[in-house]
Structure 1
Amino acid sequence: MSHKVLYVSVAALLTANASTSVSANEISQHLSTIIIPEPIKRIPPKYPIEAARQSREGWTVLGFVIDEKGNVSDALVKESSGSKDFDKAALKAVTKWKYQPAFENGKPIQQCVNTVQMNFRMGKNDGIQGVSRSFKRKYDLADKALKDKDYQEVEHQLAKMSARRTMHLSENNYMHILAANYAREIGNDTLQLYHLDRVTLDSGVKSEKLKFSVLYQQFYLEAALSKFQSAFNTYEQLIKLEEAKPYLAKLEKLMADIDSVISSDKDIMIKAAIDNDYWYADLVRNKFSLTNIEGSLHTLDVRCANKRHVYTVENNNTWTIPTNWKNCSIYVFGEPKTNFNLIEHSTSS
């Protein structure tokens, strides 16, 4: 059975095949009253000794499950500045957190979609450090090369900056903004969004104009790449900024277009690739397939507001999630460098 696929960026219709149907079960026939979990104890992460000695900074975004007893389990790194020691410290800390569990109709339940960002900063105040002379030299060379369209030199200097383990959050932001500008220059939307996602707006970006610029680009790229839940989250941040006021009508129009795509009978496709062990996405529909797998996938972890299921993966499998499972995300586990497509189907397909 073929499905039409809509790309917002080019409004092109392509064909994707999906076959074997595997439906999720436990479909509820009534509405539920859910009380969200409340934190009881949150232990901050310990700053890694070697990172502190190097005055190195970074950040880690975690996704985790809160079980019926209020304990944290199944924590995963969703995004990171790239330092494994920070990721390890964040994971160790979050597993010690304790919550008053969520309740549904008077009974404790698990909450499977929880996210937190942990920032590792040096200093007594906000921890924002100035850039080093060594970093600035590399940045200036890369910036000049970008203006001169010497892309080989841009990539060379970006690689040298990225290899520096003693990077502060402000240097992280400078590097990723420059890398995003380079990706835009060469027309690589996926790479541009990758770098914009790694700019820590709550750490080191004091200029609202710069925050607006980063979020504005993210919003349009997320829409173009069919990452609609991320686009909605970015939109919510954008409209709070004073800088966004002249653009509100345009932003609202694009949000309306996104809503139209989500409610249409066209399938939505996202190209995916596993960098390390897994890839994740936030869903906007309750029926999806994993197709055109090039490599090896072995496990699918479906996490919704108060439900979680783990499946094995075969090429072209289709999953249907009950409509009362809200705010669903998927984590796809497999071998590094495995490529595949996520197809979100309309309810009429």
Structure 2
Amino acid sequence: MQLILRYFLLSVTMLPAIVTAEIKLPLPEITIPKITEEVQRETDSDQDFQPAMPHAKVGPIYPIYYARKKKEGWVDLTFSVEKDGSISNVLVTNDSGGAQFVTEAIKAINRWKYKPALEFKQPVQSNIHNQRLTFKFDRDKKIREKVYEFYMQGLEFIEAHDRDGMDEIYEQINDLNFRKYGEKDFADVYTLNYASHIDDSDLYLSTLKNIELVSIIVTFPDLWAELAMEKVKLLAEDHKLAEALSLLNHIEAENSKTIEQTRLLSSREQLNQYIESDIDLVIDGKTNKLGIWQHHLARNHFAITNLEGKLESLDIRCDNTRRLIDIDGNSEWQIPKKWRNCVLYFQSEKSAQFTLIEFATRKIV
């Protein structure tokens, strides 16, 4: 944490310019997390399966109403690629707010084309395709002056050990309505500094848990790798081991000079040992504002317990298989090992929370 904080205090980074079409309402930039496309291809050692490859992508149309209001945002989606390369089963998993952003994002994704995945040299449906589409303008001032001034003033208060000033900035910067893409990153980075300085580990961990690495890599590129490594550790502590491994792959693919190769190898070895251990993985789950909770499976035998609320369905999406399950009274499942690299999407009409257990190999019959 101390290494990260030294970077925090030395790094003051504004958002880089974005290349947009020369029209009155510019097309938004599409941000594609490498963790879900490029890294997966690099780390897949099974030659019997070849992931789908992007063939043609188009950007979403910026909603006119939001453009006039200078409203920016993002939409996270997951989808399947069919045997003919077309898109299906589009599911919005999260968004920054704005129904028109969601509508245009779905329209854009449905126009994309892929070269289909191959299994034993035959086309198959593939289902692990996660994308974030961002809607933002090319602008001279990358974030509002108010956000930047709060951030800079807060760092000055931290360096001066001015507790009253730090407290005031913490309240002010987190009370803002973040209208421009990337503004929340400045609030989060300041909050991490603040929490560390006042020794508030709960605030530090809760902020780290919710920080958006997909935008931090743009707004604070010098901090991203260290923050990502901190998040790998946090994911492991929360028993989200497959997600931690995926993030580790992403860090390695970025070739960050701040992370030594031995550190990456050690982390990977520890995660794999944990996955293969006889310890059951216990994960807290809670559906978000869209009624969705997702989890990347490390094992193929799992169950839910301590359910509060009602779950409508379970959407299991794997590299080569998809199953939509009506939960009803079922609470335990075991999926075939040939279902590769699976992600669970629990869906509820209203908020629901529960405990997910991934059973150790010794319990698989």
What TM-score, normalized to structure 1? 0.77
1:243 Cα offset (Å):
0.9
User: Is 1:214 aligned with 2:227?
Assistant: yes
Supply the AA of the counterpart residue of 2:278: D
In structure 1, C-alpha distance between the alignment counterparts of 2:85 and 2:188, rounded to whole Å: 37
* Count of paired positions: 309
- From 171, 174, 183, the equivalent of 2:186 is 174
In structure 2, C-alpha distance between the alignment counterparts of 1:64 and 1:49, rounded to whole Å: 26
Structure that is richer in helix per residue? 2
User: Is 1:264 aligned with 2:277?
Assistant: yes
1:228 Cα offset (Å):
1.3
Question: Once structures 1 and 2 are overlaid, which stretch shifts more, 100-109 or 338-347?
Answer: 100-109
2:9 is matched with which residue? none
2:242 is matched with which residue? 229
Structure 2: runs of 5+ lacking an equivalent = 1-45
Q: Tell me the secondary structure at the aligned position of residue 78 of structure 1.
A: strand
Q: 1:291 to 1:129 in 2, by over 3 A?
A: farther
In structure 1, C-alpha distance between the alignment counterparts of 2:115 and 2:353, rounded to whole Å: 39
1:80 Cα offset (Å):
3.7
- Contact 1:196–1:214 (Cα < 8 Å) also in 2: no
In structure 2, C-alpha distance between the alignment counterparts of 1:226 and 1:348, rounded to whole Å: 18
Q: Tell me the secondary structure at the aligned position of residue 216 of structure 2.
A: coil
1:272 Cα offset (Å):
0.9
Q: 1:77 to 1:315 in 2, by over 3 A?
A: same
Task: Using the aligned pairs only, state the percent identity.
Answer: 26
- From 315, 325, 328, the equivalent of 2:342 is 328
1:86 Cα offset (Å):
2.9
- From 283, 304, 308, the equivalent of 1:294 is 308
1:209-264: CA deviation from partner (whole Å, max 9, x where unpaired):
x122321221221121111122112222334210112xx43443332222111001
Q: 1:36 to 1:259 in 2, by over 3 A?
A: closer
1:318 Cα offset (Å):
1.1
**RMSD of the alignment, in Å?**
3.1
Q: 1:78 to 1:142 in 2, by over 3 A?
A: farther
Q: 1:201 to 1:342 in 2, by over 3 A?
A: same
1:160 is matched with which residue? 175
In structure 2, C-alpha distance between the alignment counterparts of 1:216 and 1:32, rounded to whole Å: 29
1:85-131: CA deviation from partner (whole Å, max 9, x where unpaired):
333322221012122333334543211111223232322xxx68433
| Structure 1 residues 65-144: aligned runs within 5 Å | 65-105=80-120, 107-123=122-138, 129-136=141-148, 138-139=150-151
1:174-202: CA deviation from partner (whole Å, max 9, x where unpaired):
12323455677341576234432355134
Structure 1: runs of 5+ lacking an equivalent = 1-30
2:41 is matched with which residue? none
Q: 1:233 to 1:33 in 2, by over 3 A?
A: closer
- Contact 2:185–2:212 (Cα < 8 Å) also in 1: no
User: Is 1:280 aligned with 2:294?
Assistant: yes
2:12 is matched with which residue? none
Q: Tell me the secondary structure at the aligned position of residue 88 of structure 1.
A: helix
- Contact 2:148–2:186 (Cα < 8 Å) also in 1: no
- Contact 1:172–1:199 (Cα < 8 Å) also in 2: no
Question: Once structures 1 and 2 are overlaid, which stretch shifts more, 217-226 or 49-58?
Answer: 49-58
1:43 is matched with which residue? 58
What TM-score, normalized to structure 2? 0.74
